[in-house]
Amino acid sequence: MMDIHAILKQLPHRYPFLLVDKVVELERNQRIRAIKNVTFNEPYFMGHFPGRPVMPGVLILEALAQAAGLLAFDAMGQVPDENNIYYFVGIDGARFKRPVEPGDQLILDITIDRVRGGIWKFNGVGRVGDEVACEAQLMCTMRQVG
């Protein structure tokens, strides 16, 4: 569906803040399934937490938001450029059910809930295997910056 090279063309994020490694499923205007391979090399593990590394919940949410951005760009048939940026503008109902640790593969499932007034609302679930790690409703919008 989308390898890292295609993702780099769609998202402005770069290491260490690019949190989507590949897209494995994409249904235009409906849903996306993406993968974040969580490795011990991630810079946040040095301080969160020494001796028991856990991926910060806000970064799991950011990974979900990045996957949502990929889905929205595909739905709009647009590629981001220097004049437009896709902002994460809200979150509701975030719940963390399981820690995400080095060696885990975080599966990012996003579905479009609705689009109104330029605000996209998504339902997101992050899983490790069959276990839910995080779920939330995310809101994003495109803004001109140039």
Say whether pLDDT at 145 is over 90: no
Give dist(CA 60, CA 81) in Å, integer. Answer: 25
State phi, psi for 96 to the nearest 5 degrees: -110, 125
pLDDT for position 50 = 87
List the domains of the chain with CATH numbers: 2-142 (3.10.129.10)
Q: How far apart are the first and last CA of the chain?
A: 30
**The whole model's pTM is what?**
0.96
Question: Going along 71-130, which residue ranges are E strands?
Answer: 84-96, 105-116, 119-128
Confidence of residue 111 (pLDDT cuts 50, 70, 90): very high
- 102-129: average pLDDT: 98
Catalytic site positions: 48
CA distance 23 to 107: 10
Q: Note the pLDDT of residue 142.
A: 86
Angle at the Cα of 115 from the Cα atoms of 113 and 121, rounded to 5 degrees: 45
